[in-house]
Chain A
Amino acid sequence: MSLRTSLKALPTLLRIGFSEAVAYRAEMIIWVLATTMPLIMLALWSAVARGGPVGRFGQAEFTGYFLAAFCVRQMTSSWVAWLVSYEVKQGTLAMRLLRPISPLLAYATEVLAGIPLRVAIVLPVLGISVWVAGAERAVPTSLGGWGLFALGIAGAWLITFYLNVLLGTLSLFLESSQKLMEVYMVLFFVCSGYMFPVEFFPPGVRTVMEWLPFRYQMGLPVELLTGAHAAKEAWALLAAQWAWVAGLGVVSTVVWRRGLARFAAFGG
């Protein structure tokens, strides 16, 4: 689909995506309840910090970090891997391929359209974070800080989206990519900063983490939201994050196109 037609269709796609998100609001609330791991980790690490700070993290820092992690997860989550895998197996991907619009754009707008509802959950949580942990540990205190966070959260969303596309597309090559998705989720939980800050890893392991994409999906935007980095350091990390965005964008698109040639459109 041409860029002009895509842009013209985008408001309608987003509006209808939002209507669908509203129709599935109960499902979304259940999903939100299922993503309360940072709140559990907050309780755990706060208890640890009661005996003294862990690195730079006291109780207030842990509160700011894990409430930010909860918010970032709400804003960057994606279910495209499961959707693609399901649609490949059922053959319903055929209906998307018949339309003169990139299925990847359609998936992206479906996920993006749900964000306004998630913001409604995120804002009060951020408010609580500011109240409990203090503004300087919960949100950026300057406009520039907000700008860096905006770049960080956009990059995190794109990395998550492209990894989902990649994993979902593997179902066009393998009989099922469900197990790979489970492996991905475990790696994400452990390596991204979702269960504990990446800086808690020993130095050698941390270097490995810097080279993997997971840290840029969660840890970096959380750190930018909680003001953990000076501007220079933040820009360097954002550059690494956007290199991942570009790389995964190319790889997932190539794999998607090659996968489509194998699509068998089963089932009717």
Chain B
Amino acid sequence: MISVRGLRKHYQVHKRPPGLKAALRSLVHRDYTAVKAVDGISFDIQPGERVGFLGPNGAGKTTTLKVLAGLLHPSEGEVTVDGHVPRFREEAFLKKIMLVMGQKQQLLWDLPPSETFELNRAIYDVPRLQYKQTLDELVSLLELEELIGKPTRQLSLGERMKCELAAALIHRPRVLFLDEPTIGLDVSMQVTMRAFIKAYNEQTGATLILTSHYMDDVAALCPRVIVIDKGQLSYDGSLDALVQRVRPEKRVVLRLGQPVDAALLTPLGKVVSHEPGSAVLQVQQDAVNATVGRALSTLPVTDLTVENAPLEEVMSELFQEGKARRAEAAREEVPA
């Protein structure tokens, strides 16, 4: 469905130091720096896959999504989406895709969302009957009955995002790019959005690529993740395998009936946190059974769960690894 080969997107960015002198100098001489937003990444995505696109701020995630959606022209490389070259922005291509950006809106600000839906029906040339069926489904699944008649400006952020998503799906895109779709939403709205996005993928078989800084979005939606850092691909595989690679240790989370002394916890494993009513231990995978047995026999445990390390920590460690690698490479490049 999606094929990316050696994609590069470089920008020339004007740089100048602060101050009047630098401002005057820039009138006659401008210094430009090449920024490598995306620097030679390749991957394939099969029809119906749900893929998380992860990376720290400025890693090149959104740039890649914008190239895939045909908004940006690549500096180098080959990109195809369902047989189309995105930068040509062919009508058939644009009718198959949609990019939802949590920080941008397509809803008409001073008109009710129903007007944007109708506009999209006309623009995407959706037959009336199909439009009605799709809209009824979206209204019911996203609980939009009360919202679609109110001016967009009067909707809350969460309400607006639900309507944004509905507007994006009126033409039933086969490829859905989601750029931080839950940004700024409360926890309950995030859960609603995730459930809806997953249901859409399962019902329609649409391919889905998601970027999000909320790891819960990724964990709930994406069996596969692609990690890019400083424009380069640093991981492509299953989320579970990523966690196993970066943080093979497990977390044993204990709920305690009464406070215990720290000295009782230390022999069981690395103490990650210790509160009067709870404790979290980090142990090697092969020591989990033994640790659980000892904890149950020596501590006033009321509840116990074994978990992977939080995804946020896994990602943070992965990005730190990348940073350290780059620093090392830079040191090696400096002549002695």
- Which residues of A does B touch, CB under 8 Å? 1-2, 5, 8-9, 11-13, 16, 19-20, 23-24, 91-92, 94-95, 97-101, 261, 263-265, 267-268
- Among A20, A24, A98, A265, the one with the most B-chain Cβ atoms within 10 Å of its Cβ is A98
Residues of B within 8 A of A265 (CB): 66, 71-72
Could you tell me if B104 and A12 are in contact, using CB atoms closer than 8 angstroms? Answer: no
Which residues in B have their C-beta under 8 angstroms from that of A261?
A: 73, 87
A99 touches B123 (CB 8 A): yes
| Contacting residues, chain B, for A13 (C-beta < 8 A) | 119, 122-123
Instruction: Enumerate 8 A-B pairs (CB-CB under 8 Å) in ascending A order.
Output: A20-B108, A95-B104, A95-B105, A99-B94, A99-B120, A100-B123, A265-B66, A267-B103
CB-defined contacts of B89 to chain A, threshold 8 Å: 97
B98 within 8 A of partner (CB): yes
8 Å CB contact of B91 from A1, A8, A12, A267: A1
14 further A-B contacts with Cβ under 8 Å, apart from A16-B108, A267-B103, A268-B179, are: A9-B123, A11-B122, A12-B123, A13-B119, A13-B122, A23-B111, A91-B104, A94-B66, A95-B106, A98-B69, A98-B98, A99-B124, A264-B11, A267-B104
Could you tell me the distance in whole angstroms from the C-beta of B294 to the nearest C-beta in chain A? Answer: 50
Q: A2-B91, A268-B103 are in contact. Are A97 and B108 (CB under 8 A)?
A: no
B122 to chain A, nearest CB (A): 3
Rounded to whole Å, the gap between the CB of B165 and the closest CB of chain A is 14
What are the residues of chain A within 8 A of B103 when measuring CB–CB?
267-268
- Specify which of A8, A13, A16 lies most central, judged by the most chain B CB atoms within 10 Å of its CB: A16
Residues from chain A with Cβ under 8 Å of B151 in the complex? 23
Is B70 part of the binding interface, using a Cβ–Cβ cutoff of 8 Å? yes
A9 to B101 CA separation, bound complex (whole angstroms): 25
| Chain B interface residues toward A at CB < 8 A | 11, 62, 66, 69-73, 87, 89, 91, 94-95, 97-99, 101-106, 108, 110-111, 115, 118-125, 151, 179-180
Question: With a CB–CB cut-off of 8 A, which chain A residues contact B123?
Answer: 1, 9, 12-13, 99-101
Q: Which residues of B contact A16 (CB under 8 A)?
A: 108, 111, 115, 118-119
The 8 A-B residue pairs with the shortest CB-CB distance, nearest first, are A268-B103, A12-B122, A100-B94, A9-B122, A23-B110, A100-B91, A95-B106, A265-B71
Q: Closest A-chain residue to B108, C-beta based?
A: A20
A24 to B110, CA, bound (A): 8
B242 CB to nearest A CB, Å: 26
Across the two chains, which residue of chain B brings its CB closest to A98?
B99
Chain B residues near A8: list those with CB within 8 A. Answer: 122, 125
Count of A-B contacts with CB under 8 A? 83
Complex Cα–Cα for A263 and B91 (A): 19
- How many angstroms from the CA of A21 to the CA of B243 in the assembled complex? 53
Asked whether A19 and B105 contact (CB < 8 A) given A9-B123, A94-B66, the answer is no
Tell me, rounded to whole Å, the shortest Cβ–Cβ distance linking A30 to chain B.
16
B244 to chain A, nearest CB (A): 33
Whether the Cβ atoms of A98 and B119 lie closer than 8 Å is: no
A98 to B95 CA separation, bound complex (whole angstroms): 9
CA distance A92 to B111 in the complex (A): 18
A12 CA / B123 CA spacing, docked (Å): 9
Q: Is the CB of A92 within 8 A of B104?
A: yes
Residue on A with the closest CB to B70?
A: A97
Q: Are A19 and B111 in contact, CB atoms less than 8 angstroms apart?
A: yes
How long is the Cα–Cα vector from A264 to B108 in the complex, in angstroms?
23
Q: Which of A2, A11, A13, A265 is packed against the most chain B CB atoms within 10 Å? A: A265
Contact B125 A9 (CB under 8 A): yes
When C-beta atoms are compared, the residue in chain A nearest to B99 turns out to be A98
Residues of B within 8 A of A94 (CB): 66, 71, 99, 101, 104
In the complex, A265→B177 CA distance in Å? Answer: 15
Report the Cα distance A11→B71, complex, angstroms: 27
For B71, list chain A residues within 8 Å (CB).
94, 97-98, 263, 265
Q: In the complex the two chains form, is B108's CB within 8 Å of A98's CB?
A: no
Decide: A12 near B119, CB < 8 A? Known: A94-B71, A98-B99.
yes
User: How distant is the Cα of A59 from the Cα of B45 in the complex, in angstroms?
Assistant: 74
**Min CB distance, B171 to chain A, in Å?**
9
Cα A97 to Cα B118 with chains together (Å): 18
Q: How far is the CB of A144 from chain B (nearest CB, A)?
A: 37
Closest to B69 in A: A98
Residues of A within 8 A of B120 (CB): 99
Among residues of B, the one whose C-beta sits closest to the C-beta of A12 is B122
Q: How far is the CA of A80 from the CA of B97 in the complex (A)?
A: 27
A98: which B residues are within 8 A, CB to CB? 69-71, 94, 97-99, 106
Cβ-neighbour of B62 out of A1, A19, A263, A268 (below 8 A): A268
Q: How far is the CA of A32 from the CA of B114 in the complex (A)?
A: 30
* Chain A nearest Cβ from B11, distance in angstroms: 7
- Which residues of chain B are near A92, meaning CB under 8 Å? 104
Q: How far is A195 from B122 in the complex, measured between Cα atoms in Å?
A: 42
Most buried by A among B91, B98, B123: B123
Interface centre among A13, A99, A263 (most CB of B within 10 A): A99
Given A23-B111, A263-B72, A265-B72, A5 and B118 touching (CB < 8 A)?
A: no
Residues of chain A within 8 A of B70, CB atoms compared: 97-98
The chain A residue with its CB closest to the CB of B63 is A265
Q: Are the C-beta atoms of A268 and B110 separated by less than 8 Å?
A: no
Most chain A CB within a 10 A radius of its CB, from B11, B104, B121: B104
Q: How far is the CA of A177 from the CA of B200 in the complex (A)?
A: 43
Bound Cα distance A178, B98 (Å): 32
Q: Which residues of A contact B104 (CB under 8 A)?
A: 91-92, 94-95, 267-268
Beta-carbon nearest neighbor of B37 in chain A:
A264
A23 CB contacts on chain B under 8 angstroms: 110-111, 151
